[in-house]
Amino acid sequence: MAGTTPGTPRVLRAMNDRAALDLLLEHGPLSRTRIGKLTGLSKPTASQLLARLEAAGLVVVTGTTEGRPGPSAQLYAINGNVAHAAGLDVTPERIRAAVADVTGATVGEFELPTPGRRADRVVRQVTDALEGAVKAAGLTRTDVQRLVIGTPGAFDPSTGRLRYASHLPGWHSPTLLDELAAALPMPVEYENDVNLAAVAEQRLGAAHGHENFVLLWNEEGLGAAVVIGGRLHRGFTGGAGEVGFLPVPGTPLVRQVTKANSGGFQELAGAQALPRLARELGLEDIGSGPHAEVATALVARAAENDSGPYGQLLDAFATGLATGLASMVAVLDPELVVLSGEVIAAGGEPLRTRVQAELTELAASRPRLVLGAVRRHPVLRGALESALATTRDEVFDTSR
């Protein structure tokens, strides 16, 4: 037939294979009959497909449908051991590492404390953290197909240097990426930590099914991730979403923001603003420690005592968050805003409803606000999901 491309049957088989593998990832173990119904394939074709995938080591028989109505049938599942991917979540205080099998199940975790460590030992810190997670998984580094590292700030694609994160010592060397590439036996990608939290929410959490959304993150720093048309928008230098530098009403202008590593929105609604607000409201027993820990404890207490001075604290915090969000919403007009990070999560629904009410008054468009649903290590989970997406594309390609 005119226009027919040689090899089309192989391509169609590969497309069917990938559709079946994606269904198994989404639903877990399935019978041949169920896979046939979900893919629209005939029973003989579904049988051939599963035999092909089993021979390739991509699926395994995990049991039968015994106990269900009708005759029992074999259940097929993804062979998790066919590939592994790793993720790292880097902060000035620690590096958190994890390894997941190709199904997405976490099989090994490790945390390496890094406060006070020498800045010239970043490569050693990364390899030690990864090695700890790999050993916890019972694997070796060569078993890991891909690594994604999440850091504050972003690596400028034009220079390869980390920007917008002066508080991360040792990560600004112009040779760092080359040194890491030489030290690690797998492909390595780098991504902003808040962007990875958005990946986690898009794949597994509150933003699932949404292609245009903003994630506002509040822990030690205040930042955002922007997803447009289902894809992360990183900006020309990788700095899209560095909204902590955003000038906002209610705070003095901060000049030379990258040297100060702060800006108006960070000063208005970042973690360091909560103790100040608490003191202004006459609250005692504010506590001591890192900004994020103190702020999280204050917001959690306020959410439980949603009246009086604590209610006023939530009101002021919500107004500050909504002030910065109003500028973002005016430019981006997203369908959804996800509120994430430990400080915001501590406020729960009492804080979310206040921010929604304030934003409704401050912004012309009115996106729905939701709390992040990926509560356990969202940056690390996003790093794993990002690494797994590419790994699956490579491993599940049966057209070769």
pLDDT value of residue 188: 95
Looking up tokens 């699956």 gives: 392
pLDDT value of residue 307: 83
Question: What's the pLDDT tens digit per position in 157-194?
Answer: 888 888 877 788 888 888 899 999 999 999 999 999 99
Instruction: Report residue 340 as tokens.
Output: 């994430």
Three-class secondary structure of residue 80 per DSSP: helix
Q: Which residues contact 27 (CB under 8 A, 6 or more apart)?
A: 38
Pick left, alpha or beta for residue 56 (phi over 0 → left; psi -120 to 50 → alpha; otherwise beta): alpha
pLDDT value of residue 317: 96
Question: What's the chain's average pLDDT?
Answer: 90
pLDDT value of residue 70: 58
Residue 2, pLDDT above cutoff 80: no
Q: Which residues contact 298 (CB under 8 A, 6 or more apart)?
A: 274, 275, 278, 283, 286, 287, 313
Three-class secondary structure of residue 313 per DSSP: helix
pLDDT value of residue 1: 42
Burial class of residue 334, CB neighbours in 10 A (0-12, 13-18, 19+): buried
CATH code: domain 209-373 is 3.30.420.40
Residue 289, pLDDT above cutoff 90: no
Residue 311, pLDDT above cutoff 90: yes
Class of domain 82-196+380-395: alpha beta
pLDDT value of residue 4: 43
Lowest mean pLDDT of 139-143, 250-254, 331-335, name the range: 250-254
Distance spanning both ends of the chain, measured CA to CA? 24
Question: What's the pLDDT tens digit per position in 114-152?
Answer: 876 666 799 999 999 999 999 999 999 999 999 999 999
Asked whether 384 and 89 are in contact (CB, 8 A), the reply is no
Give the Å distances, CA to CA, from 285 to 39, 301, 344, 392. Answer: 60, 11, 20, 50
pLDDT value of residue 286: 79
Q: Which CATH architecture has domain 8-78?
A: Orthogonal Bundle (1.10)
pLDDT value of residue 69: 59
Domain boundaries, the chain: 8-78, 82-196+380-395, 209-373
Lowest mean pLDDT of 118-122, 302-306, 311-315, 396-400, name the range: 118-122
Q: pTM value?
A: 0.91
Give the Å distances, CA to CA, from 156 to 129, 159, 207, 364. Answer: 24, 6, 27, 33
Q: What percent of the chain has pLDDT over 70?
A: 95
Lowest mean pLDDT of 1-10, 38-47, 141-150, 315-324, name the range: 1-10
Q: What angle do CA 6, 9, 10 make, to 5 degrees?
A: 90
Q: What percent of the chain has pLDDT over 90?
A: 71
Q: Which of 134, 157, 160 is nearest to 145 (CA)?
A: 134
Lowest mean pLDDT of 78-92, 182-196, 244-258, 304-318, name the range: 244-258
Question: What's the pLDDT tens digit per position in 290-299?
Answer: 888 999 999 9
pLDDT-based confidence at 68, cuts 50/70/90? Answer: low
- Greater model confidence, 385 or 39: 385
Q: Which residues contact 81 (CB under 8 A, 6 or more apart)?
A: 101, 102
Let me know if the fold of 8-78 is the same as that of 82-196+380-395.
no
Instruction: Report residue 330 as tokens.
Output: 């005016």
Maximum alpha-carbon separation in the chain: 82
Going by DSSP bridges, is the β-strand pair 336-340/213-218 parallel, antiparallel, or unpaired? parallel
Question: What's the pLDDT tens digit per position in 200-241?
Answer: 999 999 999 999 999 999 998 899 999 999 999 999 988 899
Average pLDDT over residues 22-35: 92
pLDDT value of residue 3: 46
Beta strand spans in 30-178 (E): 30-31, 59-64, 74-78, 84-90, 94-101, 106-113, 144-151, 154-155, 162-163
User: Which residue pairs, CB below 8 angstroms and at least 24 apart, start in 239-243?
Assistant: 239/154, 239/163, 239/164, 241/192, 241/194, 241/195, 242/153, 242/154, 242/164, 243/216, 243/324, 243/328
- Greater model confidence, 256 or 55: 55
Average pLDDT over residues 57-75: 78
pLDDT value of residue 160: 84
Question: What's the pLDDT tens digit per position in 75-128?
Answer: 999 999 999 999 999 998 899 999 999 999 999 999 999 876 666 799 999 999
pLDDT value of residue 27: 92
Average pLDDT over residues 362-391: 96
Lowest mean pLDDT of 44-53, 278-287, 334-343, name the range: 278-287
Average pLDDT over residues 62-70: 69
